[in-house]
Amino acid sequence: MEVTKAAAVLRADGLHRFFHAGDDEAVALRDVSLEVAAGELVAVVGPSGSGKSTLLSVLAGLDEPDAGWVSIAGQRLSRRPEAERARLRARHVGLLFQSANLIEHLTVEQNVVVAQRFVGRAGRAPVGELLEELGLSSRRSSRPSELSGGEGARAGLAVALANRPEVLLADEPTGEVDSATESRVLDLLRRRGDRGTAVIVVTHSDAVAAACDRRVHMADGRLVA
Ligand code: ADP
Ligand code: MG
C-alpha cells in the first residue's frame, strides 16, 4: 500500500501547449499531469526539446497552457490575468534558472529586497537569516559581477527563496557550475525540502536527479513514469 502523502502543494492537470510557426506546429506539452507534495523533491529529466522548460514556465504561470490548469497552494494559477498570476507567483513560487536572475547594478542584499517588493512583510524571508543560511553573509554588499560562480549560484537561490515560496522551480540550476557548487546547492535544496518546500528541478545531472525523492521523464511533450 502506498504511504499517505502530504497534500499536493502543486497540481497540474491535463496540460497542453502548442507553438505555431507559420504552418508548423510544435507540441511542447501533451496531456501532462503532475502532483507534488510539500517537501517533495522532484527531478524532471529528458532529452533537449522534450518540453521540460515549457513545463516549468507553465507551472510558474509565466506561460499559459492551451489546455489544462495549474494550481499552487490551493489557488488556480492558469487562465487568470497576467497581473494576478504575477502576484500569485511572487507569493508562492521561487524561480531559479541557470543564468541567475540577479540585477547587475544591485548588491546581493538589494537583489533579495527587490524580489520582496510585491509581497507583504509577513511573506518575506528575513534577509539576514536567508543570506546566512546560504553562506552569503560576507557577500551581502557585493555586486553580482564580484561573486564567484558558486556565490552567484547561491545568490540566485537567495532571490528565489526571498518570499518563502511553497514551490521552488529550477531549470538546470547547476548546469554551469563545478561539482562542489552543485553539491552545495543540492544540499541547500534538500534542506529546503526538509522544511516543507516542494522543489521541482529540471536537470541533466545524475547527481542531482539521484538526490531527489522522485524522477519523472519527459519525452516528446509527455510525462512518462
Ligand atoms: P526542453 O526544455 O526539454 O529542451 P522546451 O520546453 O524548451 O524543451 O521545448 C519543447 C518544444 O517546444 C521544442 O520543440 C521547442 O522547439 C518548442 N518551443 C518551446 N518554446 C517555444 C517558443 N517560444 N516558440 C516556439 N516553439 C517553442
Ligand atoms: Mg530547457
Minimum CA distance residue for ligand 1 atom 16: 49
Q: What is the pLDDT of residues 188-201, one digit of tens each?
A: 999 999 999 999 99
Specify the pairing of strand 24-37 against strand 75-76.
unpaired
Confidence of residue 5 (pLDDT cuts 50, 70, 90): low
Three-class secondary structure of residue 138 per DSSP: helix
CB atoms within 10 A of CB 99: 10
Could you tell me the distance, in angstroms and rounded to a whole number, from the CA of residue 202 to the centre of ligand 1? 14
Sign of CA dihedral 198, 204, 209, 215: positive
* Shortest-distance ligand to the CA of residue 22: 1
pLDDT at 179: 87
Q: Is pLDDT at 1 greater than 50 in this prediction? A: no
Q: What is the pLDDT of residues 78-128, one digit of tens each?
A: 999 999 999 999 999 999 987 768 999 999 999 999 999 989 999 999 999
Q: Closest ligand 1 atom to the C-alpha of 218?
A: 3
Q: Are 28 and 218 in contact (CB under 8 A)?
A: no
Q: Are 73 and 197 in contact (CB under 8 A)?
A: no
Between CA 53 and CA 172 the distance in angstroms is 9
Q: Look up the pTM and report it.
A: 0.93
**Residue that wins the pLDDT comparison between 16 and 2:** 16
Ligand 1 pocket member 219 (CB < 6 A): no
The residue behind cell 522548460 is 53
Minimum CA distance residue for ligand 1 atom 10: 51
Mutate to test the pocket of ligand 1, among 19, 44, 58, 218 (most ligand atoms within 8 A of CB): 19
pLDDT at 177: 81
Half-sphere exposure of 211 (CA within 13 A, CB side): 22
Q: What is the pLDDT of residues 35-86, one digit of tens each?
A: 999 999 999 999 999 999 999 999 999 999 999 999 999 999 999 999 999 9
* Shortest-distance ligand to the CA of residue 52: 1
pLDDT at 6: 65
Ligand 1 pocket member 220 (CB < 6 A): no
Least Cα distance to 152 among 142, 161, 162 occurs for: 142
Between CA 177 and CA 9 the distance in angstroms is 29
Q: What is the pLDDT of residues 143-183, one digit of tens each?
A: 999 999 899 999 999 999 999 999 999 998 888 788 888 89
Three-class secondary structure of residue 216 per DSSP: strand
